[in-house]
């Protein structure tokens, strides 16, 4: 069997038309936009902004957001064409199977685990941090940090055991997803309204407290004095990617995590009422709204507090820190922001878990993963077993690993998926130019090529440890593919997928 056997577009469209046996179609265009915003505005904005500004980009983190947004825009246009043309769950995995074959599809499906599963774990870690801050450290350090974390508190060195609050929020949201996509979308819409309102309130009030000196110099200079860290050590800005424009590029790779989510909309294509019209609206609409909010937010945050302070304190709770230390008289806003951020993180985790379960659903239907991942609940018609397995997997990561490790791995997995989707649109235009496309990506291959180049540049700018860890993850995935998935694939030849037993029921 060829490693590059492809699924025919006809079989995918037939699968999309069979709504009686598959996932329920309950989502409207507005539901999809809300899902996108729900996934996008979260840890990336409230946590990664300070990490990128404090360690690499300084006030020019606004440019980091613009660079990341440009890369996302190119990829988003490609996603929109695919999602309108192939309204099937699975997102980039499904698109790659159609254009580049099974091996590439497996690789991208494996990479999406880094995006969605690790993304959910990263945000749940941030959720735990804010939860404990809201309740003034009610959870002991040992029970809200990973075993690899330690901190000197009041002269005593504390070591983490496990992150219990992160596990709790993952359990609650997994149960909600099992209950149903429409119910999850309603909860997400309420949360989106709350957190967007708080972001706007911070921008409006914080604008009055901007100190122009904090934006000068705009780029971190090569001779910037080291920043003090919480443990008493110093952070140097001398390395190449810690200052200047290259620091901004590294910042773009870090805050790129803030844009992860708009592509998760495409994983819900099989649950959209009118996917050909609504998927491009959901993908591009959520991306545009969030980009505008991000640029304004980062400008205000770096204007209110000096970027070096985010290395000393407040990186995990940068917004609340800036309000408490630089916006006198608005402590109430710090509390409101923390509550809103908790809700916002919840919606991000919700959509990430939704996206991952739908990718697994498609991979299982193709035989590349065990059948448990595609088994639907008899009443709710949700992949409930997949949700439970994901809870255990993501929960283990969230409770045992620190957030900075999982965050960068999430970014590299997403960037890799964007590269392949951008290439896939170009390939599909060449191989099947006459296929109806309700939404057409403009200026192909220019847009596709730019999407590939921008995303590859951000991958290169990530640290070597992240790159090597991602490579090791891919090697593990290839071992699983050749030892298990390849021989069990239901796709035996060009344009042919073997029927499932359920098709004869």
Say which CATH number the domain at 396 has.
Answer: 1.20.1740.10
Name which residue leads in pLDDT, 264 or 117: 117
Query: What phi and psi values does residue 288 have, to the nearest 5 degrees?
Result: -65, -45
Name which residue leads in pLDDT, 222 or 410: 222
Query: Domain for residue 261, yes or no?
Result: yes
Residue 12 and residue 124: Cα distance in Å, rounded?
A: 34
Burial class (CB in 10 A: 0-12, 13-18, 19+), 313: middle
Query: Domain for residue 502, yes or no?
Result: no
Q: Which of 40, 69, 466, 467 is nearest to 252 (CA)?
A: 69
Band (pLDDT 50/70/90 cuts) for residue 18 is low
Element (H, E) at 31: helix 29-40
In the numeric block, which tokens belong to residue 362?
A: 């498609």
Band (pLDDT 50/70/90 cuts) for residue 342 is confident
Q: Which of 78, 405, 399 is nearest to 254 (CA)?
A: 405
* 128 pLDDT above the threshold of 60: yes
- Mean pLDDT on 115-142: 83
Calculate the average pLDDT of the chain.
Answer: 83
Band (pLDDT 50/70/90 cuts) for residue 405 is low
Residue 312, CB half-sphere, CA atoms under 13 Å: how many?
A: 12
Name which residue leads in pLDDT, 220 or 498: 220
Instruction: Give the residue ranges of DSSP H helices in 239-328.
Output: 244-255, 275-304, 309-312, 318-326
* 91 pLDDT above the threshold of 80: no
- Mean pLDDT on 280-301: 91
Question: Which neighbouring-strand residues pair with 152?
Answer: 157
Query: Domain for residue 498, yes or no?
Result: no
Band (pLDDT 50/70/90 cuts) for residue 501 is very low
Query: Domain for residue 501, yes or no?
Result: no
pLDDT tens, position by position, 430-480: 888 888 888 899 999 999 999 899 888 888 888 888 889 889 989 999 999
* 403 pLDDT above the threshold of 70: no
* 253 pLDDT above the threshold of 60: yes
Q: Which of 86, 8, 76 is nearest to 422 (CA)?
A: 76
Query: Domain for residue 505, yes or no?
Result: no
- Mean pLDDT on 372-380: 83
Measured at the alpha carbon of residue 285, what is the angle toward residues 282 and 289, in degrees to the nearest 5?
135
Band (pLDDT 50/70/90 cuts) for residue 502 is very low
pLDDT tens, position by position, 160-184: 788 889 999 999 999 988 887 677 7
Residue 37 domain boundaries: 9-488
Within 8 A by CB and 6+ apart from 191, the residues are 38, 343, 344, 346, 347
Name which residue leads in pLDDT, 315 or 66: 66
* 497 pLDDT above the threshold of 50: no
* 298 pLDDT above the threshold of 90: yes
Query: Domain for residue 500, yes or no?
Result: no
* 500 pLDDT above the threshold of 60: no
- Mean pLDDT on 219-228: 91
Query: Domain for residue 503, yes or no?
Result: no
- Other C-beta atoms closer than 10 Å to the C-beta of 107 total 20
Residue 391 and residue 111: Cα distance in Å, rounded?
A: 18
Query: Domain for residue 499, yes or no?
Result: no
* 50 pLDDT above the threshold of 80: yes
* 248 pLDDT above the threshold of 50: yes
Residue 31 and residue 21: Cα distance in Å, rounded?
A: 22
pTM (two decimals) = 0.76
Residue 392 has a pLDDT of: 93
Residue 64 has a pLDDT of: 93
Number of domains forming the structure of the chain? 1
């Amino acid at each position: 069997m060829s490693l590059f056997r492809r699924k025919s577009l006809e079989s995918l469209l037939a699968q999309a038309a069979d709504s009686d046996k598959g996932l329920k179609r309950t989502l409207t265009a507005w539901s999809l936009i809300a899902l996108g915003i729900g996934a996008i505005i979260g840890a990336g904005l409230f946590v990664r902004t300070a990490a990128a500004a404090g360690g690499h980009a300084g006030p020019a983190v606004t440019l980091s957001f613009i660079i990341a947004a440009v890369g996302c825009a190119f990829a988003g246009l490609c996603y929109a064409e695919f999602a309108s043309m192939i309204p099937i769950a699975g997102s980039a995995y499904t698109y790659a199977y159609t254009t580049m074959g099974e091996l590439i599809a497996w690789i991208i499906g494996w990479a999406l685990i880094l995006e969605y599963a690790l993304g959910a774990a990263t945000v749940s870690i941030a959720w735990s941090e804010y939860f404990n801050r809201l309740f003034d450290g009610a959870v002991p350090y040992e029970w809200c940090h990973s075993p690899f974390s330690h901190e000197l508190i009041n002269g005593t060195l504390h070591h983490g055991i496990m992150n219990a609050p992160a596990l709790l929020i993952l359990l609650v949201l997994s149960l909600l997803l099992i209950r149903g996509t429409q119910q999850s979308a309603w909860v997400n819409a309420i949360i989106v309204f709350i957190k967007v309102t708080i972001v706007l309130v911070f921008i409006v009030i914080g604008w009055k407290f901007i100190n122009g000196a904090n934006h000068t110099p705009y780029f971190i200079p090569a001779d910037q004095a080291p920043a003090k860290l919480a443990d008493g050590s110093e952070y140097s800005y001398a390395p190449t990617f810690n200052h200047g424009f290259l620091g901004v590029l590294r910042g773009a790779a870090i805050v790129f995590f803030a844009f992860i989510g708009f592509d998760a909309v495409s994983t819900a294509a099989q649950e959209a009422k009118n996917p050909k019209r609504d998927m491009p609206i959901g993908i591009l609409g959520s991306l545009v709204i969030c980009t505008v909010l991000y640029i304004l937010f980062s400008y205000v945050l770096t204007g209110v507090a000096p970027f070096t302070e985010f290395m000393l304190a407040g990186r995990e709770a940068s917004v609340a820190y800036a309000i408490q230390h630089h916006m006198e008289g608005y402590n109430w806003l710090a509390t409101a922001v923390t509550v809103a951020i908790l809700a916002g993180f919840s919606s991000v985790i919700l959509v990430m878990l939704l996206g991952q379960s739908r990718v697994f659903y498609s991979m299982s239907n193709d035989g590349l993963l065990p059948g448990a991942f595609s088994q639907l609940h008899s009443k709710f018609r949700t992949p409930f077993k997949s949700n439970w397995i994901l809870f255990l997997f993501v929960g283990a990561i969230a409770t045992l690993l620190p957030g900075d490790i999982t965050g960068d791995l999430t970014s590299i997995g997403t960037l890799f998926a964007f590269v392949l989707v951008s290439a896939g649109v170009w390939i599909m235009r060449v191989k099947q130019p006459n296929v109806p496309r309700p939404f057409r990506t403009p200026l192909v291959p220019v847009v596709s090529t730019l999407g590939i180049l921008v995303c590859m540049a951000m991958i290169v700018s990530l640290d070597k440890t992240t790159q090597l860890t991602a490579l090791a993850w891919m090697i593990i995935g290839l071992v699983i593919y050749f030892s298990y998935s390849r021989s069990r694939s239901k796709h035996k030849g060009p344009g042919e997928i073997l029927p499932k037993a359920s098709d004869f029921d």
